[in-house]
């Protein structure tokens, strides 16, 4: 069993400590839990916890790493299940995977998005995963450009940034329970489903806007 499988299993002291830290973070929101608090919740002496983690920050780094490993693995799997010739659908699959992840893991989402608790981008152990996700987005957009779905001179890094910011915003609205306020006429839809509708609309509008209009407009990408 790999380190990440052991962590995800949650039965080892390592995994239980991560779960406890996330539970405490959920209660306190932006206050980092202390080692004493984590040890008390797990039910072990603090010295036992210190044998695994040097400090409270290292517990949160391990929790964030677990979340990022799961997210990247799921993203890659989602992309390969889509038609390799449909790069726009692949890009949507990336966003939908993030939405599903945020919906299922609100504590991990908050951890990675709140720099007051943990600056993931400034942590080398975590930044490599974040860079991998950005690279995957950029490669997918580059394939869309090369296939004629985007303008030849499209600013791919900027498009990746705006898309990333949009899907993080959707994730935050899901976690904060605010998505149903935006579409009150569809209360039967889950927050994740509403977010995916918004994501598809955003991506298709961006793709349409990027392709030069020629003749009768047959370059439009179907929704």
Closest CA to 125 of 195, 39, 63, 56: 63
pLDDT value of residue 212: 55
Closest CA to 25 of 52, 62, 54: 62
Q: Splitting the chain (223 residues) into consecutive groups of 10 residues, what average pLDDT does each group show?
A: 46 92 87 93 94 95 95 94 93 96 93 92 94 94 92 94 95 88 69 92 86 46 37
- CA 133, CA 128: separation in Å to the nearest integer? 9
Two tokens at 96?
A: 């939908």
User: What is the DSSP-derived secondary structure letter of residue 190?
Assistant: -
List own/partner pairs for 206-209 with CB under 8 A and 24 or more apart: 206/159, 206/162, 206/163, 207/88, 207/144, 207/149, 207/150
User: What is the DSSP-derived secondary structure letter of residue 2?
Assistant: -
- CA 96, CA 197: separation in Å to the nearest integer? 10
63-210 has CATH 1.10.357 classification: yes
pTM for this structure?
0.83
Domain ranges of the chain: 63-210
Residue 203 near residue 195, CB atoms below 8 Å = no
Two tokens at 63?
A: 């929790």
């Amino acid at each position: 069993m790999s380190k990440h499988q052991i962590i995800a299993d949650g039965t080892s002291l390592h995994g239980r400590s991560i779960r406890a830290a996330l539970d405490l973070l959920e209660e306190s929101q932006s206050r980092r839990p202390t080692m004493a608090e984590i040890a008390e919740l797990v039910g072990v002496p603090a010295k036992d916890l210190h044998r695994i983690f040097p400090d409270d920050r290292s517990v949160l780094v391990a929790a964030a790493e677990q979340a990022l490993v799961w997210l990247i693995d799921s993203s890659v799997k989602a992309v390969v299940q889509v038609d390799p010739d449909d790069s726009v659908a692949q890009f949507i699959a990336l966003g939908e995977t993030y939405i599903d992840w945020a919906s299922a893991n609100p504590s991990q989402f908050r951890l990675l998005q709140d720099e007051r608790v943990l600056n993931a981008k400034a942590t080398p152990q975590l930044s490599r995963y974040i860079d991998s996700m950005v690279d995957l987005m950029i490669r997918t957009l580059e394939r869309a450009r090369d296939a004629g779905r985007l303008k030849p001179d499209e600013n791919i890094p900027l498009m990746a940034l705006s898309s990333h910011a949009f899907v993080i915003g959707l994730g935050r609205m899901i976690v904060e329970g605010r998505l149903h306020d935006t579409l009150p006429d569809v209360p039967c839809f889950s927050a994740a489903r509403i977010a995916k509708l918004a994501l598809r609309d955003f991506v298709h509008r961006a793709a349409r806007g990027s392709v030069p209009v020629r003749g009768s407009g047959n370059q439009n990408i179907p929704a």
